[in-house]
Amino acid sequence: MVEYMLGNYLVETGKITKEQLIDVINKQDSVRVKLGLLAVSEGMMTTQQAEEVGQLQAEQDKRFGDIAVDIGYLTQDQVSRLLKKQGGAYLSFMQNLMDEDLIDMDEIDLLVNDFKTAFNYSNSDFEAIKSDEVERILPFLLPEEALPYQRLISMVVRTLIRLIDRHMYLGQAVMIDELPEEGLALQKIEGEDGFLDCFSERNGALLKMCSVYGQEEFATLNMDALDAAAELLNCSNGLYVSEVSKEGRSLELMPPQYTAAHDVHDICRIPVFIGNVGLYFMVGRIG
C-alpha cells in the first residue's frame, strides 16, 4: 500500500508522472524476492520445506514467515533477518525511485515531511504507513465509529492483497446512512454481532477485481461479474467467521445477494484502490 500512498502524492505534486509511478511499481514486482526462496538460498530451509509452507499459505490467511515459525522450520529471529534482506515496500519503493533518477537520497526527508504535513499524519502514523501492515494503517483511516469493524476490514484487505493485487491501497473511510441500490455484491452474516458487508463500484476497480478473481475479462458489471465479486466476498467472510469461531462466537454466512433491501445502520464505507481505479467496501450492522 505504501508505494501508492506515497507515489500518488508525488504525482499530485508534480514530482513524478503517473507513468513513472507505474513503471517504478512494476519494477518492484520484478525484483521482489519471495521469503521462501530467500530462506532456501540462505540455507535456513530445504526446498521441500519451503514448498510445504507455500502450500499451507494458499490454504490459510497467514504470511509465509508466520507459518514457517508455527511449524518449527524457522525462528522469529530468522524471519526478521530474512525480511531485512528482502527489503520492505517503503525502502524498495524509495530505492527504485532513486535507481530511476526520480529523486535523490537527500530529498527523501523533505518529501516525507511534506507528505506528513499534507495529510496531517503524525510521526507514528507515518511509521505505520512505512510498515505496510494493514493492522497498523487501518486505525487512522477509520472513523472512531468504524473501529469495531477493523478486524473484518483487515481480513478483507489481506484477502485482496493475496488474491487480487498486492499493491492495492485504501482511502479515508467515512460513515454513511444507506447503501447504494444497485451494482452490489452483498452478504449478510447472522448471529452474535451479525453484520452485512458488500463491494460496490466506484470508478472501475470492482469490474477489474471481478475480472482478476473470475479469470475472465468482463466488459460490463453484469451478474456474472458480480458473482465473481460475491465469491471473493464469501471467501473473505468465511475466513473471518472461521477465525472468530475459535473465540466462541457463532456467526453464519448467508447466500450472497445483489440488492440492498435490508435495514442496515452504522455503515462504514472505505475506498479501495486497485491501480488508480477504485471500488468501495462497506459494512454495517443489521436489524
Going 12 to 13 to 18 to 21, the CA torsion angle's sign is negative
Going 172 to 178 to 184 to 189, the CA torsion angle's sign is positive
Cell numbers for 193, please give them. Answer: 454481532
Alpha helices in 168-263 (DSSP H): 205-214, 223-245
Q: Does domain 137-286 have CATH number 3.40.1550.10?
A: yes
DSSP conformational letter for 138: G
Give 36-56 pLDDT, tens digit per residue: 877 887 899 998 999 999 889
Map grid coordinates 507514528 to a residue.
124
DSSP conformational letter for 256: P
Give 86-120 pLDDT, tens digit per residue: 666 787 788 788 889 998 878 888 999 999 999 99
Tens digits of pLDDT across the chain (287 residues): 889 899 999 999 999 999 999 888 888 766 555 788 778 878 999 989 999 998 898 788 788 999 999 999 999 889 888 877 666 678 778 878 888 999 887 888 899 999 999 999 999 889 888 888 899 999 989 999 999 999 999 999 999 998 999 889 999 999 999 888 778 999 999 988 889 999 999 999 999 999 999 999 999 999 999 999 999 999 999 999 999 998 888 899 999 998 876 688 999 999 999 987 999 999 999 87
Cell numbers for 196, please give them. Answer: 452485512
**Which pLDDT score, from 0 to 100, does residue 104 have?**
85
CA distance 182 to 158: 26
CA distance 287 to 274: 32
DSSP conformational letter for 34: P
Map grid coordinates 455484491 to a residue.
185
- The domain segmentation of the chain, as residue ranges, is 2-132, 137-286
CA distance 278 to 208: 9
